[in-house]
Amino acid sequence: MATPTEQLDDSEGGPLERWTKRAIKDPQRVYRALFYVAMAFFVVTTLFPFYWLLVLAVTPRQNLLSGSFLPEIDLFGAGMTFPLPVPRKGFAPGSFITIFEQIPFHLFVLNSFVLAITTTIIVLFVASLSGYVFGRLDFPGRALLMLGILAVSYFPPAAFLIPLFEAFAGNEPIVIPFTQIPLFTAPRLLNTPGSMVIPFSGLFLPLAVFILTTFYAQIPDGLEDAARVEGTTRLGALFRVIMPLSAPGVATAAVLTFISVYNEYFFSSLMALSPSAENWSPLVGGILSYQTQYTTQFNLMAAASVVGVLPVVILVVVAQERIVSGLTSGALKE
Amino acid sequence: MARVQLKHVTKRYDDQGDVVTAVDDMNLDIAHGEFICFVGPSGCGKSTTMETIAGLTIPTEGEIYIGDREVTNLPPKDRGIAMVFQNIALFPHMDVYDNISFGLRLRDYPQDEIDRRVERAADIVQLEGMLNRMPEEMSGGQRQRVAIARAIVREPDVFLMDEPLANLDAKLKVHMRTELQRLHKELDTTIIYVTHDQEEAMTLSDRIAVLDSGQLQQIDPPLTCYNEPDNLFVAGFIGSPSMNFVEGTVTETAIETPNFSLEFNPSSVDDVSAGDEVTLGIRPEDIYPGELRDEVPDPSGQIAATTDILEPMGDEIFAYLLLGDGETSMSQELATNDQLLMSIDPDSDLEEDEEIEVVIDRRNVHLFDSATGEAIVHDLIPYETDSSASGSEVESDD
Amino acid sequence: MSTDTAERTRESRRSGMLIAAVRWMENLSETWYAYLLLTPIFIILGVVALYPLLRTFELSLYAVSTDLTSLNFVGLENYIELFTGGKDRYLPGSNTFLPTTLSMPAIVSSALAVTIVFAVVSVFFETLIGLGQALVLDQDFYGRRWIRAAIIIPWAVPVVIQGIIFYLMFNSNIGFATPPLADLGLLASTNTLNDPLSALFIILVADIWKTSAFMALLILAGLQSIDRSLYNVAKVAGASKWQQFKHITFPLILPTVAVAVLFRMVGAMKVYGIIDTVSSCAVLPSLSCMVVSTFNTRVGTSASIAFVTAAIIGIIVMIVIVWQGEDAI
């Protein structure tokens, strides 16, 4: 801690007093200390909930309700409850296997992957076309159209729910609003991937469009011209030159779209009418099954959540730079 | 055979409500195998004209022919052209081989044909052994060669080059210039070359097309543009340093300018009569110090001047001369009137702020119509004129 | 020429139709080409957003029977009843979050109240904590990358798992967090998740935990765009760390933060999933909750609530856009 000379100077008083004295002489130490305290606080508060999930997941089911997770500690003779839970009720990691036996939890996760990947591919393709147009072409109405796309991303999904549900039910023909003129009857999409992929594509397109617009706009015109003179069409130049060169931007848009779909709750919980994997119910359905059907098996809920959160945790650690750049370059277009 | 023709090509842009005419009724006929330079200041329409030939821009009006095909609305890939860009535009995610072979691969050429052509192109631009490098590992000159090789492999009917040397340093530029000339000789294809550097245009091309404000000013071999510029713009643009311009009025016997007069017989030239406002164009090398008067074929009278700044260039000295009372008029007009630039021998012992007399070689004085800028005549005294005409000359300095 | 032969063999492999289509596309003017490439996005947004919005408004003008077979045009009656209390009996929850003396209809006293309180309070704390996190991440220290990853992770957690986490923390059977907070008087000690104010407190904590990182990233981007030499100028002038923050950092990031706050608030007004998992829509009926709870039984009512929600958010977005102009894009 303190060097011998300092100890000589500040020999009187306890350690706290000595630290305070030095701190007054050198305010940098205070800032440093504050910084570490703040950092520790943020890390603990963000990670603690995961710790709690793990504690619950490995606690044997029969011990869940008996006794407290908060140990009594003896502090200088005065008994008190330690405010944070500790794993003190036994160790039963079997819940990580049980969750796949009670319900086909892996199929729910798989459904989420299929929905997320399909949506990501559609979004990347459509957003690439739009990003190219907004980033590289000049045409009347550009600003207005971008504004319109931006606006869509701010409307709550609840505002779109009723007509989409009605259309995906496939009972009645879709009519042109305010006219009664029937257009066509959509196939029944409820309980199929389509009923989720379609709204997801719409909801998450705007963010991808804004990210790709930023990246595509930065590719020099000369490269596009060179590709066209060499023999590509305009679209060919987009997919052969502009897109590969914007690989970081495309990766960013892909990662953010994937995470957004994987995390989506609203349509995921409503478009699959029952939480069963055969009906394409995704992660949401799997987790909620444990909450509603196995109401006291808290260890299973926790274990399922740990498994469900693992893919995105890995994605965040691996693709951290892309996420940060996407959220900041696409700025506010969440 | 790739003759390139532009017929009434016009390109207008809509710039937030204002219509901007980038290219205005351009007519060009470029022969097969010709090396032609588009030259002009920035914004003169030379790049837009080239883009219409490349197909990167579709003209608002007019037609473009390459060979005997009309290509006006064809996409770039179907025009049989290859292009080298100012910013070089190598694909940074591909190595040299992939960059060069890009166009051939797009067209599904057989692999051995691609290899053969890439090898040959690399050989022509001296890039052997570098085919696996990435563009970022290469110097500016090497990248430019890759860009040229990428154009060569396509064996195009027409090469388009948009300021390909603009981003290179001066020494490399001169070197690449010779390489381009060698290339032209070797390939025997039409080359259309855009530059803002008139010196580059002079040294490279068979013919120069001088453009200004979207309009073709003159298209002629370099020396014709230099010696017989069609108008004030070409006269001022071609040649370095620029031609001196002095405004004057034609009288019965001379052209009077604010500071001197040149003896001249208006009846010797068509379309000129006493009272016309004209602009004299005098190249710096056609002005001589007074003591060399006897060596000048057709000297003017002595003109009093004061030297201002001297710029020694090594092989010559540029002397800025002040005429009249020595006041410099810092006018932004093309004509300077009170100032002349003279190019003299480097051994001259001329000093700054020295009062001297100069003479002008009247044979090489260009005469332009002040109102229209059109050239009237390129030699005040026609070369054929016999000595009796020069005998009637009077001393005209004041 | 060999170019031509290769060209021809290649072209012969393609169908003439395709060539014609490609040529047609290549010849479009820039403007028409732009519109052509935008067609897919406008079809998708038309299907997912524009048509549903219009159709929602249309449905809100009808009294619709449960099976959608009979439509009865009622004009704005659904809206009128919604705001005069006539619809209250169809809406979930009977909790009012405003003093009963105001006698507001349920849409205002519960849905709007819950939604707006949630949005304002959560974004307020997210901004504060996000600022703190951003200031920490703005420092140079060993392991910064890992700390940043740790702080971002909650943002990437699926809503349903976020819900389960807080459900498990505050659940009355095993939730360890309830007793200490109940002792402080912040939560109801029994049946915590069904007590409206306790549930509101818990979903606020859950949302702040998840979304602060998002604010932190935006603020961090603002912080890192500040010219570092400004701090040297301030140091030379003798400014303390706090003064540097007050006079340089804060004013320079304020515009970014202000826009971020407004847009985040609009985002927070969509709240639904966390309520559904931690508590229930009957306890905390947000606007989205009310739409979902009624759309299977009272389509007209549901549509009118959905349209009111869309209108409120639309108005806020419009105000921000008008205020910020093109910068908002």
In tens, the pLDDT along A175-221 reads: 888 777 778 888 888 888 899 999 999 999 998 999 899 899 989 88
Q: Chain-wide mean pLDDT for chain B?
A: 85
CA pair distance B322, B354, nearest whole angstrom: 10
AA identity, residue C317? V
Q: What is the pLDDT of residue B327?
A: 56
Contact B160 A230 (CB under 8 A): no
Residue A123, pLDDT above cutoff 90: yes
- B313-351 pLDDT, tens per residue? 888 889 888 887 655 554 445 556 778 889 988 888 888
Residue B382, pLDDT above cutoff 70: no
Same domain? For B71 and B122 the reply is yes
Contact B155 C29 (CB under 8 A): no
φ, ψ for residue B275, nearest 5 deg: 100, -15
Residues of chain A with CATH 1.10.3720.10: 95-329
Q: What is the pLDDT of residue B205?
A: 92
Same domain? For B227 and B183 the reply is yes
A323 in contact with C, Cβ within 8 Å: yes
Same domain? For B143 and B207 the reply is yes
What CATH number should be reported for the domain holding residue B140? Answer: 3.40.50.300
| Cα radius of gyration (chain C) | 27
Q: What is the pLDDT of residue B100?
A: 92
Same domain? For B198 and B257 the reply is no
Q: What is the pLDDT of residue C139?
A: 84
Residue A238, pLDDT above cutoff 80: yes
Contact B107 C10 (CB under 8 A): yes
Query: How are the residues of chain B apportioned to helix, strand and coil, as percentages rounded to the nearest 5?
Result: 30, 30, 40
Q: How far is C120 from chain B (nearest CA, A)?
A: 42
pLDDT band at A334 (very low <50, low <70, confident <90, very high): very low
Residue B16, pLDDT above cutoff 90: no
Q: What is the number of structural domains in chain C?
A: 2
DSSP C325: G
Count Cβ atoms within 10 A of the Cβ of residue C242 and give its class: 0-12 exposed, 13-18 middle, 19 or more buried.
Answer: exposed
- Residue B227's SS3 state is helix
List of residues 6+ apart from A63 with CB closer than 8 A: A89, A90
Q: What is the pLDDT of residue A305?
A: 93
- Residue B324's SS3 state is coil
Same domain? For B29 and B145 the reply is yes
CA pair distance A119, A110, nearest whole angstrom: 14
Same domain? For C242 and C113 the reply is yes
Q: Which CATH number fits domain A95-329: 1.10.3720.10, 3.40.50.450, 3.40.50.1100, 3.90.1150.10?
A: 1.10.3720.10
Nearest to A132 by CA among A216, A235, A53: A216
Structure tokens at B14: 């809509």
Contact B160 A227 (CB under 8 A): no
Residue B246, pLDDT above cutoff 60: yes
When CB atoms are compared, the residue of C22, C168, C180 closest to A52 is: C168
Residue C82 lies in a domain: no
B103-130: average pLDDT: 89
When CB atoms are compared, the residue of A50, A145, A201 closest to C38 is: A145
AA identity, residue A272? A
B68 in contact with C, Cβ within 8 Å: no
Same domain? For B109 and B73 the reply is yes
ipTM for the complex shown: 0.87
Q: What is the number of structural domains in chain B?
A: 2
**Residue bearing the bigger pLDDT, C160 or B127:** C160
Cβ-Cβ contacts under 8 Å, A39 against chain C: 136, 141, 147
Alpha helices in B125-214 (DSSP H): 140-152, 170-187, 198-204
Cβ-Cβ contacts under 8 Å, C167 against chain A: 291, 301
Q: How far is C96 from chain A (nearest CA, A)?
A: 22
AA identity, residue B203? T
CA pair distance A78, A17, nearest whole angstrom: 26
Same domain? For B203 and B317 the reply is no
Domain carrying residue C43: 16-59
Same domain? For C95 and C46 the reply is no
Same domain? For C101 and C199 the reply is yes
Residue C165 lies in a domain: yes
CA pair distance C215, A42, nearest whole angstrom: 14
List of residues 6+ apart from B317 with CB closer than 8 A: B310, B311, B343, B344, B345, B346, B348, B350
Which A-chain residues 6-45 have CB contacts (< 8 A) with chain C? 27, 31, 35, 38-39, 42-43, 45
Q: What is the pLDDT of residue A8?
A: 47
Q: What is the pLDDT of residue C22?
A: 81
Cα A158–Cα A162–Cα A165 angle in degrees, nearest 5: 110
Contact A225 B154 (CB under 8 A): no
What CATH number should be reported for the domain holding residue C286? Answer: 1.10.3720.10
Same domain? For B200 and B252 the reply is no
The residue from B185, B204, B236 where one domain ends is B236
Question: Do B7 and B27 contact (CB within 8 A), yes or no?
Answer: yes
Q: What is the pLDDT of residue B332?
A: 43
Same domain? For C208 and C270 the reply is yes
Nearest to C219 by CA among C261, C266, C247, C268: C261
**Residue bearing the bigger pLDDT, A72 or B74:** B74
pTM, 2 dp: 0.81
Same domain? For C129 and C200 the reply is yes
Cis bond upstream, residue A140 (ω within 30) = no
CA pair distance A59, B258, nearest whole angstrom: 106
Specify the DSSP element, H or E, that contains B46: helix B46-54
Q: What is the pLDDT of residue A1?
A: 43
Question: Do B161 and B152 contact (CB within 8 A), yes or no?
Answer: no
Domain carrying residue B130: 4-236
C10 in contact with B, Cβ within 8 Å: yes
Same domain? For C111 and C195 the reply is yes
DSSP secondary structure string for all residues of A147-177: HHHHHHHHS-THHHHHHHHHHHHTSS-EE-T
DSSP secondary structure string for all residues of A20-51: HHHHHH-HHHHHHHHHHHHHHHHHHHHHHHHH
Contact B81 A241 (CB under 8 A): no
Structure tokens at C52: 């549903």
Cα B19–Cα B25–Cα B27 angle in degrees, nearest 5: 155
When CB atoms are compared, the residue of A225, A230, A234 closest to B103 is: A230
Same domain? For B291 and B223 the reply is no
Taking phi first (over 0 means left), then psi (-120 to 50 degrees means alpha), and beta for anything else, what does residue B252 get? alpha
B371-389: average pLDDT: 68
Residue B208, pLDDT above cutoff 90: yes
Nearest to B220 by CA among B209, B232, B233: B209
- Listed as ranges, residues in chain C with pLDDT below 70 are 1-15, 65-70, 93-96, 100-102, 324-329
Contact C133 A42 (CB under 8 A): yes
Residue B396 lies in a domain: no
Q: What is the pLDDT of residue C327?
A: 54
A-C CB pairs within 8 A amount to 302
Token pair 């390489």 is at which residue? B179
Cβ-Cβ contacts under 8 Å, B154 against chain C: 3
Same domain? For C311 and C243 the reply is yes
Residue B55 lies in a domain: yes
When CB atoms are compared, the residue of B108, B156, B157 closest to C10 is: B108
Same domain? For B250 and B114 the reply is no
CA pair distance A65, C172, nearest whole angstrom: 10
Interface-testing mutation among A82, A132, A155, with chain C (most C C-beta atoms within 10 A) = A155
When CB atoms are compared, the residue of B75, B108, B155 closest to C3 is: B155
Q: What is the pLDDT of residue A170?
A: 82
Chain C residue with CA closest to B153: the answer is C3
Same domain? For B218 and B269 the reply is no
Same domain? For B131 and B262 the reply is no
What CATH number should be reported for the domain holding residue B295? Answer: 2.40.50.140
Same domain? For C30 and C131 the reply is no
Residue C74 lies in a domain: no
Chain B residue with CA closest to C20: the answer is B74
Residue C233 lies in a domain: yes
Q: What is the pLDDT of residue C15?
A: 65
Residue A87, pLDDT above cutoff 80: no
- For chain A, which chains pass the contact test of at least 3 CB pairs under 8 Å? B, C
Cβ-Cβ contacts under 8 Å, A147 against chain C: 321, 328-329
